Structure 1
């Protein structure tokens, strides 16, 4: 049995472990020679984000083992095109042995319910690189998301 609940500051250790697993999986599946993101200071950043409230995380925990097996993190943003405030799913990961068991769908449902309480009109997400994560896109589509086109781009500032 899986329990879904909002993470608290002490959960930052488990969130960090799951985030590192997410980055390792993306790196491995895409064949990237080095990790795509710096993991330096991740635990401290996670703890700080939770403490300040700029980061909301939903955790999936196996009730039998007490082990955190998945998480979904959200941040609020604002845009004219979104007609105000909206949520962005920043990271989302479920351990492989818990996939296709409804854990991800329950995490998404928790995020959507939370977004409604915040008055958000939408949730947005960017998937890991395609075609390596095509199943991820299909998962989101099965859960009510639609493609909006475009590609994620970035400019490093520091």
Structure 2
């Protein structure tokens, strides 16, 4: 049985372990020549974000083993196009042995419930690079997400 729960500050080490697995998988599967993300200080940042309330994390735990097997992180944003507050899924990861077993769907459902309690009308998510992660896009589409076009871009502020 899988249990979904809201993370506490004390869960930062487990979230960091899963986050590092996510980044490693993206780096390996995209054959990236440079690190996608500096993992330095991740646990401290995670704990600080949770403690401040700017970052919510939902955890999937295997009740039989007690192991944390997945997570989904959320933050709130605001925009005119969304008519106010909405949620952004920042990271979502399920250990490979638990994929295609409904864990991700349960995390998404919990994220939608969390958003409803805050009055959000929508959730947004960006996926890792295509076509390597086409299954991720299909997963989100199967759970009611729609493609909105465009590409995710970033600019580092020095």
Partner of 2:155: 155
Instruction: For structure 1, list consecutive stretches of 5 or more residues without a partner in the other structure.
Output: none
Alignment of 1:121 with 2:132, yes or no, is no
Alignment of 1:133 with 2:156, yes or no, is no
Shift of 1:34: 2.7
Partner of 2:11: 11
Partner of 1:63: 63
SS at match of 1:97: helix
Partner of 1:142: 142
CA deviations 1:68-111 (Å, max 9, x no partner) are 00000000000000000000000000000000000000000000
Structure 1 residue runs of 4+, over 2 Å off? none
Alignment of 1:104 with 2:104, yes or no, is yes
Shift of 1:128: 0.3
Alignment of 1:20 with 2:33, yes or no, is no
CA distance in 2, matches of 1:134, 1:151: 14
SS at match of 2:82: coil
CA deviations 1:31-88 (Å, max 9, x no partner) are 0023201101000000000100100000000111111000000000000000000000
Shift of 1:129: 0.4
Partner of 2:85: 85
The Cα RMSD (Å) is 0.5
CA distance in 1, matches of 2:64, 2:121: 36
CA distance in 2, matches of 1:150, 1:28: 25
CA deviations 1:116-147 (Å, max 9, x no partner) are 11000100000000001000000000000000
Instruction: For structure 2, list consecutive stretches of 5 or more residues without a partner in the other structure.
Output: none
